Structure formats: structure tokens, C-alpha cells
Amino acid sequence: MNTTMTYQRNPMGGNDLAVQVTAAENEQISRVVVELDGFTLNDDVLEEPEESYQNDFRGAGSAAPGTSHLLRVTAYDTNNAPHVASRRWEDLQ
């Protein structure tokens, strides 16, 4: 699995996040869990396995100068094996 995560501080509050997961050859995605700072933003159990998954989250969590964040994405294949990726950052002013 290949996971891409981007973030941007939302001027109205929180963070704008984009998550994309692409299955490797001969793999498919059956479930994706997205967590920010220990809170689940989404737990998508896909009706049919997919080769790629993308989701955007607007104004997620809180943002303030000096605040540290952990974005964690767990993608499950059709054998229910977890593939975990994470991204960490600290809010600037």
C-alpha cells in the first residue's frame, strides 16, 4: 500500500487534510481508518474492495501555534492485514 497525506491549516479553524491510499500490485483495499491526534475522523469499510481510496477532511481537529499533530492512516487489505502510515507536524504561527 502507498499512502499520501497532506495537511494545511484552515484559516477558519482546524486543519484541511487529504488522504490517498493506493493498493500495490495484486492488493486491494477493504477498509481505511483515518485518525488525527488520537481521534477517529473516519472508519470506511468499503462495500467492494478498491484499488485506490481518497478522502478530504476540512477543518479537522484544532490548530494553534506550537500545537503538535499526528495523522495516522490504517489501510486494510482483503486479508484484513493492516498497513499503517503516519505524518507528524507542528503548527507554526
Which pLDDT tens digit goes with each residue over 59-72? Answer: 999 988 889 999 99
Rounded CA gap, 71 and 82, in Å? 16
Question: Which pLDDT band holds residue 27 (cuts at 50, 70, 90)?
Answer: very high
Question: pTM here?
Answer: 0.93
Sheet holding 15-22, edge to edge: 2-9, 15-22, 52-60
**Where do the domains of the chain lie, and which CATH numbers do they carry?**
2-90 (2.60.40.10)
Where residue 45 falls among pLDDT bands split at 50, 70, 90? very high
